[in-house]
Structure 1
Amino acid sequence: MEEEGSERGRGSPTTYCVTGATGFIGSSLVNLLLQNGYNVHATLRHPAKSLKLLSLWTNTDRLQLFKADLREEGSFDEAVKGCDGVFHVAASMTFNVDQQDNIEEYVQTNVINPEIKGTINVLKSCMKSRSVKRVVLTSTISTLTGKDANGKRKRFVDESCQTFVDQVWKNKPSGWVYALSKRLSEDAAFKFAYENGIDIVSVITSTVSGPFLTSNVPSSVQVLMAPITRDPNFLRIVSTVNERIGSVAVVHTKDICRAHIFLMEHTKGKGRYLCCVGSYTLSELTERLSQHCDVKLERCVDEKQNWMRSEVGNKKLKDLGFEFEHGIDDIIKDTVSSCVQCGFISLT
């Protein structure tokens, strides 16, 4: 799949490696790459637990599967060999941890350090392969904030609005472990890549929702559906996002995958790119969900009086030439349809 302005992907067949191929974004990315004629090396930590996904991909000879573990250095050597690029999607999805006597030390040792090590392990494997031209790293909007160092709301949020690590350690908001591990592993990846001459770009995902291929309902889908399900854990997460960023930024499953491929193939891509089609306050999202579900949803969080929203921007990505295909109505419609189909929600 080539977007206008793309400068890669011409000539001989292109081969890409996707780490974390059984996750939400990873599985959808593998599917889209195969649909568009690419050769794919997909890494799986537990192939035996991925029979549903594997059954979707058995009718092609353009896919090779590799067992790999982020905790093992060299585990990705064979998977990236001969690849033109690597999509590093695999990551820990630890949002919070049970209270520990030394919780900071526990999180640093058991979550953040392994996440950083795993990312560096993938980059080391890329260094060994002379064919890899670029690495696209999947990041998250959890690494951003809509407030300045003094807690004042920003009107616009973009790639430069990174979270303040010391404040996350201090305040430990909902999802704080995931936010820290992604922020610090992304920083480590760019530092290692710069020091070793690796071309790297990151995609900052907003709340990704829409159709999914995984057996379990993805966390980001559950976040968007929280006003319907009233799940207290995911209501807490979406409320925290709304408060931290100043709105909830969203993107369709297909568009986030298209953005990954676009940034892999556009040689002018540099640095970090925030990928969202729009952003909405939690009250606005609840109203939209009510319209699509044809049910009256109660407001799940009271936004403070004189509460100021922030707009989450996609200017850098659009300036490079990327065009979104799906807006908020598509996102909600496709998400609700997928959740009803798998039995996660019922609207009757």
Structure 2
Amino acid sequence: MTDGSANSLLWESPSAVCVTGSTGYIGSWLVRSLLQRGYVVHATARDLWKAAQLQESVWECVGGELKLFRADMDEEGSYDEAMQGCTFVFHVAACMDFHAPSVDNDYVRREVLRAVVRGTLNVMKSCRRAGSVKRVVFTSSISTATARDSLGELKPHVDESSVVDVDSIWLHKPPGWVAAENAALRFAKDNGIEFISVVPTTVAGPFLTPHVPASIRVLLSPITNDPELLPIIQAVYARLGSISLVHVEDVVSAIIFLVAAPQAVAAEGRFLCSGESCNLACLARLLSHKALPLFSDESLPVVISSKKLTDLGFEFKHKASVIVRDAKEGCIQAGFLSNDSS
């Protein structure tokens, strides 16, 4: 299909799409939203039982046509069937290893980076073999971005160019998304597939999954005092100079916007997806009415900018206060937090 009027037909009516990682936090919301918009959704999952549970409890009630497929990023060719006839692929499946050793370079290289890259390329190869896939929207992570300049000083503003040095991930604890995103981008360019990377900041809000998503557990770690997750949010603040939040519904809307909106026909590259940035003191006030001594920094937060996305006409609907409120309410309902925990 060529550029111009023929290409614009992709945006005139919903078509078949594939969602990888459909049982995850963002993936489950994405499937729900696509079904509501009338798309035929091919949802993949490593565990079809989990997908069937979500289908029964969440997805069926919104209507639309849903097909479930078992697929595993570690198995080349396992996505082939799911991608047949799909115009768009939303690659949301990812490997999150919070506890990978930071000094064992051999482990980093062999067990994390190579596995993540290989899995991502397995998905991209299925896109190529399908023959119908025009655009891949890759859900990346804010771990691919940094507010630190070459001298280690904080910049006041982070945009799509503020990328973690790829070479450094071989020396430090790796954000696997960096290697995966770069590998997918190169493959897409070499094979004539349009490629967009959505880079959400800390994603929170309500959740459809039976368990509390990792990003919400990290966000709430200042009030849960989780010894494994609390250092993560502190490290994010040290690298970015702010804690930037985005509502899960805004993330999903942005992902769909980048294939459905007429003004996104020519969209390409990375798109930061950040609802609101705050400093540690602001985050502490949102999380709890109690004093949180470790979260008292009132410094002006670095702005994680979504200007590239909003310049296309996208609008964020949720402020940080709403994001935290929705996340806490969901966790209370799930029994993860008590009513008096904050």
Same structural fold, with TM-score higher than 0.5 when normalized by the shorter chain? yes
Equivalent of 2:86 in 71, 83, 87: 83
The equivalent of 1:310 in structure 2 is: 302
Give the CA deviation at 1:109: 1.2
Say if 2:253 is the partner of 1:255: no
Q: Distance in 2 between matches of 1:233 and 1:54?
A: 32
Please say which of residues 126-135 and 206-215 is displaced more in the overlay. 126-135
Unmatched tracts of structure 2, length 5 or more = 1-6
Alignment partner, residue 277 of structure 2? 279
What corresponds to 2:71 in structure 1?
A: 68
Is 1:329 matched with 2:329?
Answer: no
Alignment partner of 1:319 is 2:311 = yes
- 2:222 is the alignment partner of 1:224: no
Alignment partner, residue 137 of structure 2: 136
Are 1:135 and 1:264, in contact at CA under 8 Å, matched by a contact in 2? no
Contact 1:133/1:199 (CA < 8 Å) preserved in 2? yes
Residue 78 of structure 1 aligns to a residue in which SS? Answer: helix
d(CA) in 2 for partners of 1:296, 1:283: 12
Map of 1:1-348 to 2, 5 A cutoff? 10-11=11-12, 13-55=14-56, 56-58=58-60, 60=63, 62-98=65-101, 103-170=104-171, 172=172, 176-177=173-174, 179=175, 181-265=176-260, 266-290=264-288, 295-301=289-295, 303=297, 309-348=301-340
Contact 1:34 1:40 in 2 (8 A): yes
Deviation at 1:205, TM superposition (A): 1.1
Shift of 1:264: 2.0
Q: CA RMSD in A?
A: 2.0
Question: Post-superposition shift, 1:215?
Answer: 1.5
* 1:280-330 superposed Cα distances (whole Å, 9 cap, x missing partner): 11221111222xxxx313233464xx9563111010000111111111121
- Rounded Cα–Cα distance in structure 2 between residues aligned with 1:308 and 1:302: 12
| Distance of 1:215 and 1:111 partners within structure 2 | 27
Structure 1 counterpart SS, 2:19: strand
SS at 1:40's partner residue? Answer: strand
Tell me the SS of whatever aligns to 1:18.
strand
Distance 1:231 1:72, change over 3 A: same
What SS does the corresponding residue of 1:92 show, helix, strand or coil? coil
For the 8 Å contact 2:206–2:330, the answer to whether it is kept is: yes
Q: Counterpart of 1:250 in 2: which secondary structure?
A: strand
Deviation track 1:25-83 (CA, whole Å, cap 9, x = no partner) reads 11110011112221100001011244531323345560000000111111111101011
Aligned counterparts of 2:220 and 2:257: Cα–Cα separation in 1: 28
Q: TM-score, normalised by structure 1?
A: 0.89
Partners of 2:193 and 2:99 in 1: CA distance = 32
Distance 2:72 2:90 in 1: 15
Residues 228, 297 of structure 1: 8 Å contact kept: no
Matches of 2:330 and 2:17, distance apart in 1: 28
Contact conserved, 1:8 with 1:267, CA < 8 A, in 2?
no
Q: Which amino acid aligns with 2:117?
A: I
Q: Which has the higher contact order (CA 8 A, sep 6+)?
A: 1
Of stretches 254-263 and 221-230 in structure 1, the one that deviates more from structure 2 is 221-230
Alpha-carbon distance in structure 1 between the residues aligned to 2:310 and 2:182: 24
8 Å contact kept, 1:116–1:185: yes
| Secondary structure in structure 2 of the residue aligned to 1:232 | coil
Q: Which amino acid aligns with 1:255?
A: D
Whole-Å separation in 2 of the counterparts to 1:97 and 1:313: 29
Query: 2 CA distance for matches of 1:198 and 1:120?
Result: 13
AA of the residue aligned to 1:241: V
User: In 2, are the aligned partners of 1:153 and 1:308 still within 8 Å (CA)?
Assistant: no
Question: How far apart are residue 130 of structure 1 and its match?
Answer: 2.4
Q: CA deviation at 1:169?
A: 4.1
For 1:318 and 1:285, how far apart are their aligned partners in 2? 24
8 Å CA contact retained: 1:283, 1:299:
no
Is residue 105–residue 170 contact of structure 2 (8 Å, CA) maintained in 1? yes
Cα distance between partner residues in 1 of 2:290 and 2:187: 50
State the number of aligned residues.
329
Q: Percent identity?
A: 45
- The answer (yes or no) to whether the contact 1:247–1:282 under 8 Å persists in 2 is yes
Q: Paired residue for 1:3?
A: none
In the aligned structure 1, how far is the partner of 2:200 from the partner of 2:8? 23
